Amino acid sequence: MLYLLAGGGLLSFNTGFAVWIAISLIVFLLIMTKYAMPPIMAALEGREITIRESLEAAEVALAKAKAISEDNEKALREAEQTAHQIRKEAKEEAERIRTERVAKAKDEAEQIVEQAKLDIKQEKQSALLALRQEVAYLAIKSASLIIDAELDEEKNKKLVDNYIDNLSKN
């Protein structure tokens, strides 16, 4: 406090004190430059190298991720194309099978119709033959009753055959 009363204030400038502060600062900076700066600079350079390597690794990882993403997208597109192709082939196969089955059913129906026509024709022939035989029998019976004469078996057969031939021609 005496110092303040003696006329020196807080804001008064003392040249000796300033010189000592300057010398102390220079010595401190020299010591720091000599002993503290190399490890600090080495640590900073190491950190810079680590950061640079991390950035490079990140860029490589990003490039790999992009490549993997592109590969995945390509694989997805190929899978979609394959699925589309499989669906298309399945539809075509189903249509082919349907067409084959329709054609087969149509052929079978035509065969059944043809067979039915043949069966009908055969039945018609059989019915006509039976009818002719019945008509011939009735005609012979009627004729024998009319002429009241009994014909022998050979004459009956000949008469029936002639009658059937005449019916066929008519």
Residue 91 inside a domain? The answer is yes
Residue 127 inside a domain? The answer is yes
pLDDT digits (tens, 9 = 90+) for 31-78: 999 998 899 999 999 999 999 999 999 999 999 999 999 999 999 999
Element (H, E) at 157: helix 153-169
Residue 19 inside a domain? The answer is no
Residue 130 inside a domain? The answer is yes
Rounded distance, CA 105 to CA 48, Å?
A: 83
Q: Indicate the burial class of 140 (C-beta count within 10 angstroms; 0-12, 13-18, 19 or more).
A: middle
pLDDT value for 142: 73
pLDDT digits (tens, 9 = 90+) for 73-126: 999 999 999 999 999 999 999 999 999 999 999 999 999 999 999 999 999 899
What lies within 8 Å, CB to CB, of 139 at 6+ separation is 163
Confidence label for 30 from pLDDT (cuts 50, 70 and 90): very high
Residue 89 inside a domain? The answer is yes
Rounded distance, CA 162 to CA 168, Å?
A: 10
Q: Which domain holds residue 38?
A: 33-169
Rounded distance, CA 85 to CA 114, Å?
A: 42
Taking CA 62 as the corner, what is the angle to CA 56 and CA 67, rounded to the nearest 5 degrees? 130
Residue 20 inside a domain? The answer is no
pLDDT value for 145: 62
Residue 13 inside a domain? The answer is no
Residue 4 inside a domain? The answer is no
How many domains would you assign to the chain?
Answer: 1
